[in-house]
């Protein structure tokens, strides 16, 4: 830190809190600023966003009793520093960690903490994963590019978003035995009890990779499932095997706006994967599934629609919103609607709504 920045920091304690936080976020002339020790003792702050800090290193106890929302981004933290920070925030409700590194153990034991967001977990240690212990967290999001994550004691989770891509170093081994598969299996086991689950495109593609290996998803109790994906038949076997373990599902939303690379093409032939989906009996039903929504619909998803109509025995609403590329109505959509309405259904009372 330059002498000029040091002089600025020495005068920060005389400034109002709102101005102090703004100035701290700007002091990164040398690649980051040093968080001042006096700033660890402020009971009036309610929301604190820390960015581009060289390191958070409290030398004494942290006293942030007023903070309910804490965000730390582009910052190095040790396990000890993270423990002090969380201990000093007894009223913390929301914690967001974005582009962070340094610590490997995150224990959130505060009964008031309800929401945790992990966005871009960075580390140079390929064999060290992040252990998360959060018995009272109800809402969890894991986003961006991540290394390995273990979830321990997350019994209170209600809503989980897994929209990330694992970024492990390349290893010369069977791709179906790599760390991606191991970590995903651990995560799915840890969130099998939640009510609402949302999966991103990378997770969905890896479901089919694991399905090729013979993996079966553990039984789950989620009632709401949202899949953000590129609507391709290569992903359908993994999706159907995943749905087979979702017997309590009441609402299914499939959003096809996401673009993603074809990971499966590295492991299987496209024609063979399509044939497997069309001929395989997944031997399941959805006794509680009442609502299905497919957003950004395209013709490639018709086999999946047919499958869902056949196995959803109490379905009430099937809503399909087509992907529109121009203002006029495409004749292809009219043809697809007619084909869709001709599909056999387990429930004759279902209302099928096709919009384009």
Q: Is residue 162 part of a domain?
A: no
Domains: count for the chain: 2
Q: Which of 157, 178, 203 is the last residue of a domain?
A: 157
Give CA separation, 202 vs 284, 289, 300, in Å. Answer: 25, 25, 19
Q: What percent of the chain has pLDDT over 70?
A: 76
**Dihedral sign, CA of 19, 24, 25, 26?**
positive
Confidence tier at 83 by pLDDT (50, 70, 90): very high
Query: Residue 26: is its pLDDT beyond 60?
Result: no
Query: What strands lie across the sheet with 105-107, from one edge to the other?
Result: 105-107, 130-133, 149-152
Of 142, 157, 172, which closes a domain?
Answer: 157
Q: Which of 10-14, 180-184, 252-256, 283-287 has the lowest mean pLDDT?
A: 10-14
Axis-axis angle for helices 179-190, 201-212 (nearest 10): 110
Q: In whole angstroms, what is the distance from residue 11 CA to residue 20 CA?
A: 10
Q: Which helix (H) or strand (E) holds 4?
A: helix 3-10
Confidence at residue 282, expressed as pLDDT on a 0 to 100 scale: 61
Containing structural domain, residue 355: 192-356
Asked if residue 175 is part of any domain, the answer here is: no
What tens digit of pLDDT does each residue of 220-251 get? 999 999 998 877 777 787 788 788 889 899 99
Q: Is residue 172 part of a domain?
A: no
Task: Say if residue 59 is in the same domain as residue 205.
Answer: no
151 beta partners: 132
Residue 133's φ and ψ, nearest 5 degrees, are -115, 115
Could you tell me if residue 292 is inside a domain? yes
pTM above 0.75, yes or no: yes
Residue 25 in this model has a pLDDT that exceeds 80:
no
16 and 141: one domain?
yes
Distance of alpha carbon 107 from alpha carbon 122, whole angstroms: 18
- Given a cut of 80, is residue 313 above it in pLDDT? yes
Who's near 336: CB < 8 A, 6+ residues apart?
299, 302, 322, 354
Cα(294)–Cα(256) distance, integer angstroms? 8
Is it the case that residue 4 has pLDDT exceeding 60?
no
Asked if pLDDT for residue 290 goes beyond 60, the answer is yes
Whole-number average pLDDT of the chain = 81
């Amino acid at each position: 830190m330059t002498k000029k920045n040091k002089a600025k920091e020495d005068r920060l304690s005389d400034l109002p809190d709102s101005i102090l936080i703004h100035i701290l976020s700007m002091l990164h002339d040398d690649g980051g600023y040093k968080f001042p020790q006096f700033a660890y003792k402020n009971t009036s702050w309610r929301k604190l966003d820390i960015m581009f800090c060289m390191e958070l290193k409290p030398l004494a106890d942290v006293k942030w009793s007023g903070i309910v929302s804490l965000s730390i981004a582009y910052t190095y933290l040790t396990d000890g520093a993270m423990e002090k920070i969380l201990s000093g925030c007894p009223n913390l409700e929301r914690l967001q960690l974005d582009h962070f590194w340094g610590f490997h153990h995150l224990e959130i034991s505060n009964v008031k903490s309800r929401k945790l967001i992990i966005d871009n977990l960075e580390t140079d240690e390929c064999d060290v994963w992040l252990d998360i212990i959060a018995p009272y967290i109800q809402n969890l999001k894991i986003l961006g590019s991540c290394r390995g994550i273990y979830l321990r004691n997350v019994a209170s989770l209600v809503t989980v978003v897994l929209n990330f891509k694992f970024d492990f170093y390349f290893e010369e081994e069977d791709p179906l035995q790599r760390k991606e598969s191991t970590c995903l299996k651990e995560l799915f086991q840890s969130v099998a009890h939640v009510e609402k689950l949302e999966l991103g495109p990378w997770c969905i593609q890896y479901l089919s990779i694991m399905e090729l290996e013979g993996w079966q998803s553990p039984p789950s109790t989620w009632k709401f499932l949202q899949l953000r994906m590129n609507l391709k038949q290569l992903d359908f076997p993994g999706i159907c095997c995943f749905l087979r373990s979702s017997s309590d599902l009441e609402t299914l939303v499939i959003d096809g706006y996401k673009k993603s690379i074809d990971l499966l093409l590295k492991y299987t032939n496209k024609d063979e994967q399509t044939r497997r989906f069309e001929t395989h009996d997944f031997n399941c039903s959805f006794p509680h599934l009442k609502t299905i929504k497919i957003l950004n619909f395209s013709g490639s998803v018709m086999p999946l629609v047919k499958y869902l109509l056949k196995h959803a025995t109490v379905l009430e609403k099937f809503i399909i919103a087509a992907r529109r590329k121009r203002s006029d109505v495409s004749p292809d959509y009219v043809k697809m609607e007619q084909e869709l309405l001709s599909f056999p259904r387990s429930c004759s009372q279902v209302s099928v709504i096709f919009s384009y």
